[in-house]
Amino acid sequence: MSGSPTTTSTRTRARDVDRSDTCAVLDTALSDGQITVDEHANRTAAAMTATTLGQLDLLVHDLQKATLRNAVAKVRRIDKIWYVAAASVVLAGLVGFLTVSADDSSPAPLPVVAQGAEPLAPIVGSTLNTVTASGIREFITRYNNKFGTTVIDSASFFDGHASVTRAAAISPNVKEDIDFRGGFTPRDSTSTRAASTVTFDLAAVDIDKLAGYLAGASANLNVPDAEITHISMSSSSQEPRISIYASNNLGASGSMDLTPDGRPILLSPFTPR
């Protein structure tokens, strides 16, 4: 970006809404596999402290900048199409059954309902809101059940999905990225994992204290009506930490870093300019 002093330039001071928009682009890039969990954590941290538009541009210049809203809308459209298709199949089967029954001159027997039988559950996706304490608790349980461990390299949690980086089962020298949307789906690509990688143990997270920080995000971060945009967990700074990011519809945003057992490390509240 360049131009005369009356136009926007790389030296133009960044607003909180600019930082928030940049974080949204990074969230989308993580969810569609453009960047890794570690890259996302590092770039997001840099975006939260950036002071100029040029600094923000450097964080996203190599990304396809589809907005987070478009990404979410696409997922919702896919879910809706799947649900309508499933409902159409059920409806077609019901119409066929009624047609056959109408052609049959003998009265159709009433269906037998077993005593104590549970009603059939509706077909719904098993996604979790993993920016809540209860959603993260359930994620940890499912992760442990799936992999037999609670150890990860890093993870980022969003509403309805999460991304995990961990040592691959084939070798501790290989890193794999896994998408979570109710179930765990490894991405196609793997990469070299440094022997010095510091891991993060999900079992060490104090869920009750995390719930308190999430509930108090508006007050702690000076962000009225704050919504948690994402939560990251890693040891990329050589010490385990949980980072909570929040924003509101007015563009105010803030973040806080905690130890897994709930001790505050860093508080970055919203400061009006």
For residues 20 and 49, membership in a common domain is answered with: yes
The predicted-structure confidence for 110-149, as pLDDT tens digits, reads as follows 333 334 434 433 333 457 899 999 999 999 999 999 999 9
Mean pLDDT of 210-237: 94
Q: pLDDT-derived band of residue 219, with 50, 70 and 90 as boundaries? A: very high
Identify the domain containing residue 82 by its residue range. 72-100
For residues 160 and 192, membership in a common domain is answered with: yes
Q: How far is CA 229 from CA 150, 204, 250, in A?
A: 24, 23, 14
Q: Is the pLDDT of residue 186 over 90?
A: yes
For residues 96 and 181, membership in a common domain is answered with: no
Pairing state between β 200-201 and 184-192 = unpaired
Q: pLDDT-derived band of residue 252, with 50, 70 and 90 as boundaries? A: very high
Q: pLDDT-derived band of residue 238, with 50, 70 and 90 as boundaries? A: confident
For residues 77 and 167, membership in a common domain is answered with: no
Mean pLDDT of 166-184: 93
For residues 40 and 57, membership in a common domain is answered with: yes
Question: Which pLDDT score is estimated for 8?
Answer: 59
260 within a domain of the structure (yes/no): yes
For residues 145 and 40, membership in a common domain is answered with: no
The predicted-structure confidence for 40-90, as pLDDT tens digits, reads as follows 878 887 887 888 888 888 999 899 864 444 433 443 343 444 344 444 443
Closest CA to 247 of 272, 271, 219, 270: 270
Domains: count for the chain: 3
Q: How far is CA 181 from CA 128, 142, 161, 163, 172, in A?
A: 7, 11, 5, 9, 25
Question: Which pLDDT score is estimated for 52?
Answer: 87
Stronger pLDDT, 27 or 55, i.e. the higher one? 55
Stronger pLDDT, 219 or 11, i.e. the higher one? 219
Question: Which pLDDT score is estimated for 125?
Answer: 43
DSSP 205-256: --HHHHHHHHHTHHHHHT-TT-EEEEEEEE-TTSS-EEEEEEE-TTS-EEEE
Arithmetic mean of pLDDT over the chain: 78
Q: What share of the chain in percent tops pLDDT 70?
A: 74
For residues 168 and 231, membership in a common domain is answered with: yes
Question: Which pLDDT score is estimated for 87?
Answer: 44
The answer to which of 1-10, 163-172, 188-197, 261-270 has the lowest mean pLDDT is: 1-10
